[in-house]
Amino acid sequence: MGNRIPEETIEEIRNKVDIVDVISEYVQLKKQGRNYFGLCPFHGEKTPSFSVSADKQIYHCFGCGSGGNVFSFLMNIENCSFTEAAAILAKKLHIDLTINNDANHFSGKSNDFAEMFHAHDLLQKLYHHFLVNTKEGNEAIQYLLKRGFTEETINRFHIGYAPNSWNTAAKFLERRGFNLYEMIKAGLISRRESDGSYFDRFRHRIMFPIWDNQGRTIAFGGRILDEGEPKYLNSPETKIFNKSKTLYGLHLARPEVRKKQQVILFEGYVDVISAWRAGVGNGVASLGTSLTDEQANIIRRNADNVIICYDSDNAGVNATYRAATILNNAGCVVRVAKMPEGYDPDDYIQTFGTESFQNKVIGTSQTLMAFKIEYLRRGKNLQDEGELISYIEEVLSEISLLSKAVERDHYLRQLSDEFSISLDALKSQQNQIYRRLRKNKDISSINRNNNNNYQNTIVLKKNLLPAFHKAERIILAHMLRNEDIAYQIKEQIGCSFNIDVHNAIALFVYAFYEEGNSPNVGSLLQRIGDEQIKSIVSELAMLEININISEEELSDYIKQVLNHPKWLKIKEIEAEKLQAEKQQDIIKAAQLAMKIIEMKKELK
Ligand SMILES: [Zn+2]
């Protein structure tokens, strides 16, 4: 793997780290029996099949098969090298990591990444320094204070100021030895066509660092100070900044999100910051683009509930409708916070104050259905009978998508009251619509909360495996937990498992114990590079087995494994015999029949 971190340090990390803590920063985990379950961050899903074992310090997804220990989790989710994963953990655990940090140490891809992260980190500090400590930053800080920003907010969100100069950042980066060509790719500077000189991308702007989910600065948003265009300028997408996967402020919001089991989704970073001032600490924003499926999945993995708090103008309401649909499809329970027409959260807080925002906007958020009922009404003249009927049909379609009968009943009554239509008539029409939707399969999402029996499905699938295959899995599962069994299997089966990958696993296990290790799946996984093998090992480690297996039971499984090739041979001869009979070669058929009987005897 080519890491230069001493083995003792890796061991120290492995001993101190708790995989549940680390994964909890990405996935909301719930304890169920001995293990924790959550929605897999590596594939889209609505019911949790991602499991984490605190005892064994490993994870496994029964949906997509990804699995491993805490290092592999970080390498996969952060798309980083082993060394970088170790560095992340060391930082978290306050373990001194004496790897030399010069850029040469990293190779290829991670080299660029490391340099980009480093440049963003330094610039973020530089811009912040300009804002709070220098004369150049005076105008900017006055502007911010006037808009209600406090010193506390400025520090918490590391707000900065990019001076009104063409080359502050370019010179700064050059002096620090950064490759300026790489810095163009990082979106921090640009180059003049005319003379090839470098100049700053952000000038005379208030700078808002944008972080990845771990809190590393990966981009900037800059707001112009004077009149000028564009008002907001963001970093372009780069190797480290993927807009559609980033939620502004997530790492800051996470503790509050956990506590409240709720995310408040805003349109922009200024809203997140204003809301924080108003005491709303669980806000994140989708960075000005419309919400993506990936962002919705990140939200879903962190909390069950979302309140959307977008601008109340026409565009904002349309965006709310789109985001609500995406979040609902991702399995979130969605509510919508309403502000008076024409306000965004920042304006609202400026005008009506923080308490009003807490109580009247967030506190009175409406259900998704209530929002849709209003949304569908927009632009319709309900005095017109035709428009009224089409409106009611649209609402009934939405009601049909609700999974709870109580909810459907509630909104049908509301509709009945408002338009003086008999409840029975509405119910029967809603039934018709429901049947039509179901026929068109639009309603497949309707029972999304009812199919929590994924584990049963998995168990069922595995039960369909042939006996020898099951036997091999059970034997390997025991070998992972018990070195004596591993030694016994080495004697009796060695590398004669019938499934190739099982032999590979057995070899890893034999070698692991022979080096004097005691059972420890986490460390074992460390040595396995192949994803398929890792996946099976982590799955087998999660398998519920009876640890006190009897000698008899074990030898039964061993027999099934060793006999399998003989069974295959018998089947071959049976086919040959059938062929001989067809060709009326009676003597050959009889000989083969004898052979089969003998072989079967041997198996007993
Ligand atoms: Zn998965």
Cα dist from 338 to 148, 358, 537, whole Å:
22, 12, 50
Residue 117 sits in the same domain as residue 174? yes
Q: Which of 66, 99, 132 is the last residue of a domain?
A: 99
**pLDDT tens track for 335-344:** 999 999 889 8
Three-state helix/strand/coil letters over 104-155: HHCCHHHHHHHHHHHHHHHHHHHHHHHHHHCCCCHHHHHHHHHCCCCHHHHH
Measured in Å, residue 45 CA sits from the centre of ligand 1 at 8
Measured in Å, residue 63 CA sits from the centre of ligand 1 at 5
**pLDDT tens track for 472-488:** 999 999 999 999 999 99
Work out whether strand 58-61 and strand 67-69 pair parallel, antiparallel, or are unpaired: antiparallel
The token duo for 452 is 């929590």
- Establish if 365 belongs to a structural domain: no
Host domain of residue 342: 245-358
Residue 452 confidence (pLDDT): 39
455 pLDDT more than 50: no
Residue 89 sits in the same domain as residue 183? no
Residue 604 sits in the same domain as residue 486? yes
Q: What is the CATH number of the domain that holds 86?
A: 3.90.580.10
DSSP classification of residue 299: H
Measured in Å, residue 297 CA sits from the centre of ligand 1 at 12
453 pLDDT more than 70: no
- Establish if 1 belongs to a structural domain: no
d(C-alpha 273, C-alpha 166), whole Å:
28
Tell me the chain's radius of gyration from C-alpha atoms: 31
Measured in Å, residue 304 CA sits from the centre of ligand 1 at 18
Residue 43 sits in the same domain as residue 123? no
92 pLDDT more than 50: yes
Measured in Å, residue 114 CA sits from the centre of ligand 1 at 28
d(C-alpha 534, C-alpha 528), whole Å:
6
Residue 463 confidence (pLDDT): 59
Measured in Å, residue 132 CA sits from the centre of ligand 1 at 45
DSSP classification of residue 46: S
* Amino acid in position 53: S
**pLDDT tens track for 30-85:** 998 889 999 998 887 888 889 999 988 999 998 888 899 999 999 888 878 888 88
108 pLDDT more than 60: no
Measured in Å, residue 48 CA sits from the centre of ligand 1 at 9
For residues 254 and 25, is the Cβ–Cβ distance under 8 A? yes
Measured in Å, residue 51 CA sits from the centre of ligand 1 at 9
**pLDDT tens track for 231-246:** 889 999 999 999 998 9
206 pLDDT more than 60: yes
Dihedral sign, Cα of residue 388, residue 392, residue 398, residue 399: positive
99 pLDDT more than 80: no
Measured in Å, residue 60 CA sits from the centre of ligand 1 at 8
What would the mean pLDDT of 524-552 be, rounded to a whole number? Answer: 89
What would the mean pLDDT of 529-553 be, rounded to a whole number? Answer: 89
**pLDDT tens track for 566-591:** 989 999 999 999 999 999 998 999 99
- Establish if 161 belongs to a structural domain: yes
Measured in Å, residue 205 CA sits from the centre of ligand 1 at 42
Residue 110 confidence (pLDDT): 54
Measured in Å, residue 26 CA sits from the centre of ligand 1 at 13
Label residue 441 by pLDDT band (50, 70, 90): low
Residue 188 sits in the same domain as residue 144? yes
Span of 5-14, 321-330, 454-463 with lowest mean pLDDT: 454-463
Residue 156 sits in the same domain as residue 122? yes
Residue 184 sits in the same domain as residue 233? yes
Look at residue 367 and give its three-state secondary structure.
strand
Measured in Å, residue 17 CA sits from the centre of ligand 1 at 23
101 pLDDT more than 70: no
d(C-alpha 145, C-alpha 15), whole Å:
47
Measured in Å, residue 466 CA sits from the centre of ligand 1 at 25
Label residue 1 by pLDDT band (50, 70, 90): very low
Look at residue 578 and give its three-state secondary structure.
helix
Residue 215 confidence (pLDDT): 86
Measured in Å, residue 334 CA sits from the centre of ligand 1 at 24
What would the mean pLDDT of 346-364 be, rounded to a whole number? Answer: 91
451 pLDDT more than 60: no
Residue 505 sits in the same domain as residue 591? yes
Of 292, 353, 301, the closest CA to residue 319 belongs to: 292
Residue 169 confidence (pLDDT): 96
Residue 53 confidence (pLDDT): 93
- Establish if 334 belongs to a structural domain: yes
Measured in Å, residue 62 CA sits from the centre of ligand 1 at 7
- Establish if 371 belongs to a structural domain: no
Residue 446 confidence (pLDDT): 43
Measured in Å, residue 446 CA sits from the centre of ligand 1 at 22
Which residues, at least 6 apart from 449, have a Cβ–Cβ distance to it below 8 Å? Answer: 403
Half-sphere exposure of 334 (CA within 13 A, CB side): 26
Measured in Å, residue 535 CA sits from the centre of ligand 1 at 11
Label residue 100 by pLDDT band (50, 70, 90): very low
Measured in Å, residue 131 CA sits from the centre of ligand 1 at 44
Q: Which of 65, 99, 133 is the last residue of a domain?
A: 99
Residue 335 confidence (pLDDT): 96
- Establish if 373 belongs to a structural domain: no
Measured in Å, residue 64 CA sits from the centre of ligand 1 at 4
Measured in Å, residue 347 CA sits from the centre of ligand 1 at 41
Residue 332 sits in the same domain as residue 409? no
- Establish if 316 belongs to a structural domain: yes
Residue 9 confidence (pLDDT): 86
Q: How many CB atoms lie within 10 A of CB 110?
A: 17
d(C-alpha 104, C-alpha 100), whole Å:
9
Of 224, 269, 223, 262, the closest CA to residue 246 belongs to: 269
Residue 82 confidence (pLDDT): 87
What would the mean pLDDT of 374-402 be, rounded to a whole number? Answer: 90
Look at residue 568 and give its three-state secondary structure.
helix
Measured in Å, residue 527 CA sits from the centre of ligand 1 at 22
Number of domain units in the chain: 5
**pLDDT tens track for 176-198:** 999 999 999 999 999 998 988 99
Q: What is the CATH number of the domain that holds 540?
A: 1.10.860.10
- Establish if 366 belongs to a structural domain: no
Measured in Å, residue 210 CA sits from the centre of ligand 1 at 28
Q: Which of 177, 208, 241 is the last residue of a domain?
A: 241
Measured in Å, residue 364 CA sits from the centre of ligand 1 at 36
Residue 440 confidence (pLDDT): 72
Of 362, 437, 364, 357, the closest CA to residue 398 belongs to: 437
Q: What is the CATH number of the domain that holds 188?
A: 3.90.980.10
94 pLDDT more than 80: yes
Residue 149 sits in the same domain as residue 234? yes
Measured in Å, residue 41 CA sits from the centre of ligand 1 at 7
Residue 188 sits in the same domain as residue 231? yes
Residue 220 sits in the same domain as residue 125? yes
